[in-house]
Amino acid sequence: MGQAVALYTQGKQLMFVGCRLLGNQDTVYTGYAGGFLYFKNCYIEGTTDFIFGSSTALFEDCEIHSKRNSYITAASTPKEIAVGYVFNRCRLTAAADVDKVYLGRPWRPYGMTVFMNCELGRHIIPAGWHNWSKVENEKTARYAEYNNTGEGAKSTARVKWSKQLTKKEAEQLLKLISANL
């Protein structure tokens, strides 16, 4: 099974509520830099980089399901865009044989992804993030976490170039992204 885009977005402001998005590689493509997407109570499953693109997107109360060992996100957030992907109160699950999944890797140098208040399953590897085999991405990628729980949430072994947000930073981020709703 190869690439299978289930959702390709191009709008300025789009909302998806209660959707079930099934695919393999590249399930959800957020293709419009400067666009804002809101996903609420959705189920999204896939394999490699199955949530990818350049839009700002808030995922709330969603289940993000990995079908094999790989990467969940591949953000290509432009340098001038403050917020890329934010996952809030989501549950990260996986198929029974999956045990090595990264939260994300930067498709472009300034990729931005944050997981906050999420339940991370045992399939999330301790490093959490990958640099796409480009050391220079470690200087520009914007990866962070806040208040996650579950077996995959242990932050002590995360890559040094990712960040653990403070409560104040997490609140400011949610306020910033919620202004687009």
Q: Supply the pLDDT for residue 2.
A: 58
Q: Report if residue 79 sits inside a domain.
A: yes
CA distance 36 to 180: 7
Q: Report if residue 100 sits inside a domain.
A: yes
Q: Report if residue 2 sits inside a domain.
A: no
Q: Report if residue 1 sits inside a domain.
A: no
CA distance 129 to 66: 15
61 a catalytic residue = no
Instruction: Name the residue range of residue 60's domain.
Output: 7-178
Q: Report if residue 135 sits inside a domain.
A: yes
Q: Which of 99, 41, 51 is nearest to 72 (CA)?
A: 51
What band does 90 get if pLDDT is binned at 50, 70 and 90? very high
Q: Which of 41, 33, 62 is nearest to 50 (CA)?
A: 62
- Cβ burial of 71 (10 Å; 0-12, 13-18, 19+) is buried
Taking 90 as the threshold, does the pLDDT of residue 32 lie above it? no
Structural domains in the chain (count): 1
Q: Supply the pLDDT for residue 4.
A: 72
pLDDT digits (tens, 9 = 90+) for 54-65: 999 999 999 999
Q: Supply the pLDDT for residue 180.
A: 75
For residue 25, what is the domain's CATH number?
Answer: 2.160.20.10
Q: Report if residue 16 sits inside a domain.
A: yes
Long-range contacts of 135-139 (CB under 8 A, 24+ apart): 136/109, 137/105, 137/106, 137/109, 137/111
Average predicted confidence (pLDDT) for the chain: 95
What band does 1 get if pLDDT is binned at 50, 70 and 90? low
How many other CB atoms sit within 10 Å of the CB of residue 103? Answer: 28
The arithmetic mean of pLDDT across residues 102-114, rounded, is 97
Predicted TM-score (pTM) of this structure:
0.97
pLDDT digits (tens, 9 = 90+) for 9-18: 998 999 999 9
| In contact, 105 and 72? CB cutoff 8 Å | no
Q: Report if residue 165 sits inside a domain.
A: yes
pLDDT digits (tens, 9 = 90+) for 121-140: 999 999 999 999 999 999 99
How many other CB atoms sit within 10 Å of the CB of residue 61? Answer: 14
